Amino acid sequence: MAAGDGDVKLGTLGSGSESSSDGSSESPGGAGAAVEGGGWAAAALALLTGGGEMLLNVALVALVLLGAYRLWVRWGRRGLGAGAGAGEESPAASLPRMKKRDFSLEQLRQYDGSRTPRILLAVNGKVFDVTKGSKFYGPAGPYGIFAGRDASRGLATFCLDKDALKDEYDDLSDLNAVQMESVREWEMQFKGTFILLGSLEVLSL
């Protein structure tokens, strides 16, 4: 009977939890849960790390695209504004460069783009060849009213009516300080974009 009792005790110990040296017991199920919990934590950490790298890559791609768009806005649109349109040869490409000279109002009017492909206009007493911008300053362009004319007053007042342009010499003496500053800014912009040919004579012929 004693041996039988010992067998029962050994069987009980083998099928139950194992006691540790300090008297505490560890369950196999508890150890598995701990391992499983560690696996989830590792997986979550890997997911967060991978997500951060993905967000960084997306941000870098967005910055590259933004930079390319800004370059297109700065240079691409300028090229479109100066050209006559895609697939068309600009009239300025086939015309010889004009010699620098001064123009009277009457002489300036001959270059309005209707009688000759060349287009000139004056800003703040300076005459510019704007033929390469015929898409804008040609007869069918949105600013065609300035072709062959002194465009200073129209640009200063942001007016595209014929009444804003004078047939005689315009000294702009009635413009205020803000409008005159606008005229000077337009002059500097034209100097950086188009060919400066000369000055506008005070008296027309």
Q: How many CB atoms lie within 10 A of CB 152?
A: 30
The pLDDT, as a whole number, for residue 57 is 73
pLDDT tens string 74-122: 444 444 344 433 344 566 668 899 999 999 999 999 999 998 999 999 9
φ, ψ (nearest 5 deg) of residue 18: -95, 135
Cα–Cα distance measured from residue 79 to residue 82, given in angstroms and rounded to the nearest whole number: 5
Q: What percent of the chain has pLDDT over 70?
A: 59
φ, ψ (nearest 5 deg) of residue 170: -115, 115
pLDDT tens string 127-155: 999 999 999 999 999 999 999 999 999 99
Mean pLDDT, all residues of the chain:
75
Sheet holding 120-123, edge to edge: 120-123, 126-129, 195-199
Residue 110 and residue 148 in contact, taking contact as beta carbons nearer than 8 Å: yes
Range with top average pLDDT, 14-28, 56-70, 81-95, 117-131: 117-131
User: Considering the entire predicted model, what is its pTM?
Assistant: 0.56
